[in-house]
Every structure is written in C-alpha cells, then in structure tokens.
Structure 1
Amino acid sequence: MVKWVSSILLKLSLMLSLALVALANSGDFHLFYFVQQWLGSYCDQHAEKCCYPPSGKPPADFSIEGLWPYFNDGSFPYNCGGGNFNEALLKPMQDSLRREWPSFTCPQIGRKFWVHEWNKHGTCSKTVLGEVAYFQAALNLKNKVRLLQALGNAGIRPNNQLYSLKAVKEAIARGTGFHPWVVCNKNSQGISQIWQVAMCVDRTGTRLINCPFVPKGQGDCKSQIKFPAFY
C-alpha cells in the first residue's frame, strides 16, 4: 500500500513538473521586469569578482541587468529552451550592447552574459519577442528609463551618502512616470545600498506600466540606503 501511494505521488509530481515546464514554454507570461544595476553596489558586494569590460571603465551610469518575463502571481519562468542563441544576429547592435549591457564579472565573460540572459529569460518570451527584438527592446528601454538623471534631478547622487528609500522611489517615479521596484544589497560594513532598479513593462517589451505585484525572491531595502560612488 505504501509503495503504491509513493508511486502515485511520484507520478503526480512528475506530471506537475511537466505541466510547469509546458506553462513556462507557452509564453503565457504577464509582463516584463526591466532591471538595471549600479556598478558601485555590485562591486561592493563582489569585490573579488568585479572587473571592467575589455573596453575599460564605463561612464558612470546604471547598466542593463536583464529583461525578465513574469507571471501574474509574481513568479517567473526560466530556461524555457527552444531558442538557440545566434550571436551573428546581434552584430548590428553589438557596440550598444557592450556599452549598455556589459558584464562586470571576473574573469570577463563578455558575450556569455547575453547568452545566459537569452537562455534563461529570453527564451521564455520568444513567442512575443525573437532574439533580435528581445535585445533591442532592452536597449530601447535603457534609453527611455534614465535612472541616474532622474535621481540627479532630485539631488540624489552616487556620493557614498545615505538617502531615504522613499525619496529614491519618488525621484524615479517623477523621472519615468512609473513607480519602480528597488532592490538593495549590503556592502562590507552591512549597510543597505541601492543595487538594482526594476520597472514593469508590458508583454510587448515596449511600454512601461505600473507594477501590479512585487516580484518574489527579491531583496529588501532599509528605510535609509547608500548610493555608493561609481568604481
């Protein structure tokens, strides 16, 4: 009896796993999160793994972290497969990707970062955006969502000072017209600092929208957060 029940449970678990995989591959996601990150905070957290791209230290700005599809319950699909990465297709936008979507890991992984993002996230939106459209959408959004400018207009600058989380969110909302989701990490002294900023985007990857939910598994910020200098 115990073996029979265990067998049934195993089959049900397998069926559920297959159903979830099918859902992830269906492209039936609700929206995108367009995520940018701040190099100063990344390097504070990963000092031994922080390297500049081959082109050298980039200008002070937020850079693209990813364009991630989400379901309407706050969970997200990943590694949906069926979308082989073709680097040749991205050649016309390669300079823009190197500038706006660089990798800061050591050793430098360069294009592998784009491959990773496409395989993990892009393949789950391929029914809406093909490879070229996916990366172009992220670049277009970067030009639209100017975080450093929005923060600077409110007197919030990367000067190692503490700012209220509320003020940071309000500044970005004023500058973009939409409320952000701010993710923090901690530096070596345990101080909460601005790391990633996510904006919600519709399924076409072109239009900013108000976020209907908080993404699962994201880090919390303290009421006062540091804006570290750009390394």
Structure 2
Amino acid sequence: MRNFAVCMIVAVGCSTFGCTPTLAGPDHSWDILIFTQHWPNTVCMEWKEKLKQHTCILPRIKNSWTVHGIWPTKLGTIGPQFCNHSLHFDPEKLQPIRGKLEQEWLNVYNGTTTSLWKHEWKKHGTCAVTLPALDNETKYFGQGLAWIEKYNMENVLARAGINPDTKGYSPQQVWDAVHGALGKTPAVECVRDSETGNWFLAEIRICFDKNLTLTDCDGIKRDDASIKTNCPSEKLVIYPGKVPVFQQEDTDRTTWLLSALRVIQWLQWITL
C-alpha cells in the first residue's frame, strides 16, 4: 500500500513492475481569442521604414482593414503558441476561400501569398484547434473572414467620424469609437515613425470567448493601461489615407540629385 500511495503522487498510473513518472508537457490552455485587424497603410509604412527597398501589397479595395490573425490567449500573458507541430499547413485546403483570403487576409509584406497564412496557422491556429469551431484550417481562416465582414474597423471607425486622412485623433477617440460600437473593451495598437516622431494607428484587437461571442479584452497583456493601448495618451495618432512618404526617402533623393549635379559640373570642367 505504501508503494502504491507514493506512485499516485508522481505518476498517473502504475504497472505491475512499478511506476513510471510522467512529465507534464507545456501548458497550451487558453482563455479567449484575440481577433486582430491591421491597417495596411501603416503596416506598409513600418515595413518600408525597416528598408526603403521593401515593397508592399495593398488591398484592391481602398481603405480596407485586413486580418492579421486569430490568437488564442491565456489572460495575463502571451500565448500559447506553436501548440502542435504535427498539424502541417496545407494551402490546398483553403482553395474554396482563397479568393476572399487574398483580399481580406493578405500578406502586406509582399511575401508569397500563403506565407502569412502558414505562419498564423503554425503559431496560432494549432492552438485554436482545441475548439471544435476552429479545429481545421478551413474553419480557422473562415472564421477570420466572417469576423472581418461583421466587425470591419473601417465601418466601425467611420460611424464615429474617424476616417483615413492626415488628421490626428486621440487614442481615446479611437478606443471610444470601437467600444461604443461593440459594447466591449478593445485594444488599440500604434507604431511610431522614428524619422518624424509621429504615431500611426496600426492595429485594433477585439476579443471573443470560447462560444465565439464578443467579450472584453480585459486581462490580455498590457492590462496596466487605463485603456488598452500602447499609443501615447498625450499625442494624436494619424490614421493615414495612404502610405506615408518617409523623410529619409526625401533625404536620399536630395543626396542623389546633389551627386548627379557634381558629376555634371565635373564633366563640364574637364571639357573646358
């Protein structure tokens, strides 16, 4: 009896020949789903800022927000991620919805058409499959399409008078617009242009419970803020109507013109 009692502490079960301890695997449990839409003009700006030669793919329909991902998330932390390496990505399974995905869930970074989908499936979709409503590629990506059709941030913001242009809006205005339309707490993400110091609206995140019902994003990472945002409360954020042109690009163009002018002047001098 003493041996059996000890074994129950260290293992799930015992065999005739004794007990074999079982090590607990990584915790892949999660509480809510974060549905993230991003603003392609800002995404492209950030991509080009890393390297000016970078090119982007923008939606065919102007002013369309696009899906970044559906992220199963444990409250108070980030993740889980990459939950099942045996669930390989198969783009053929997405053929029935591929046309819509290429418009609504496109890869702004000008990579291969499926590279973003593969990344999102491996990192997040393999964790979402524990929910029957999302237990395969078609369901997972199809749910993203259904949600962006119903909760497209272009429409949500426009109803509050927030439209793409060079005018700045306070983070509170953006947050209030989403909260007012949906009745749930969102999260708003911005990025900063290192050249100008300006802040740009980048992503809006809304949350769903395991019944795929809208819920508050309270408890997701960044829960120390009075409103869920990384945007500076004291500054206006730009919701750009087109991809911003960088100051660095202007500087490079000026440098090139000056170099060309020097060459012309040198050629004129040697022909005198």
TM (norm. structure 1) is: 0.82
1:185 aligns with 2:191: yes
Q: Matched residue of 2:201: which SS?
A: strand
Residue 206 of structure 2 corresponds to 199
Residue 96 of structure 2 corresponds to 92
On the 8 A contact 1:150/1:174 being kept in 2, the answer is: no
On the 8 A contact 2:73/2:220 being kept in 1, the answer is: no
Residue 71 of structure 2 corresponds to 68
On the 8 A contact 1:83/1:126 being kept in 2, the answer is: no
Structure 1 residues 161-180: aligned runs within 5 Å = 161-180=167-186
1:214 aligns with 2:220: yes
Equivalent position amino acid for 1:165 in 2: P
TM (norm. structure 2) is: 0.70
Equivalent position amino acid for 1:198 in 2: R
Aligned partners of 1:151 and 1:72: how far apart in 2? 27
Equivalent position amino acid for 2:201 in 1: I
Q: Matched residue of 2:100: which SS?
A: helix
On the 8 A contact 1:39/1:230 being kept in 2, the answer is: no
Structure with bigger RCO (C-alpha 8 Å, 6+ apart) = 1
On the 8 A contact 2:60/2:103 being kept in 1, the answer is: no
Task: Render the CA deviation track for 1:74-120: whole Å, top value 9, x for unaligned.
Answer: 321111122111222211111111110000113x2211110110001
Aligned partners of 1:125 and 1:214: how far apart in 2? 16
Post-superposition offset of 1:171: 0.9
Task: Render the CA deviation track for 1:148-200: whole Å, top value 9, x for unaligned.
Answer: 11211221111011111111111112222322100110123121111011001
Aligned partners of 2:66 and 2:97: how far apart in 1? 16
Residue 230 of structure 1 corresponds to 242
Q: Matched residue of 2:122: which SS?
A: helix
Q: Matched residue of 2:138: which SS?
A: helix
Task: Render the CA deviation track for 1:27-73: whole Å, top value 9, x for unaligned.
Answer: x21011000000111122122334116xx744311100000010122
On the 8 A contact 2:81/2:124 being kept in 1, the answer is: yes
Post-superposition offset of 1:219: 7.0
Residue 112 of structure 2 corresponds to 109
Structure 1 residues 26-37: aligned runs within 5 Å = 28-37=29-38
- Stretches of structure 1 that go unaligned for 5 or more consecutive residues are 1-17
- Stretches of structure 2 that go unaligned for 5 or more consecutive residues are 1-22, 244-272
Task: Render the CA deviation track for 1:7-31: whole Å, top value 9, x for unaligned.
Answer: xxxxxxxxxxx75x5312xxx2101
Tell me how large the CA RMSD over aligned residues is: 2.1
Count of aligned positions: 206
**1:159 alignment partner, one of 151, 158, 165:** 165
Aligned partners of 1:216 and 1:151: how far apart in 2? 22
Which range moved further: 66-75 or 43-52? 43-52
Post-superposition offset of 1:137: 1.1
Structure 1 residues 114-133: aligned runs within 5 Å = 114-128=117-131, 129-130=134-135, 131-133=137-139
Residue 12 of structure 1 corresponds to none
Larger gyration radius, structure 1 or structure 2: 2
Q: Matched residue of 2:27: which SS?
A: helix
Identity %: 27
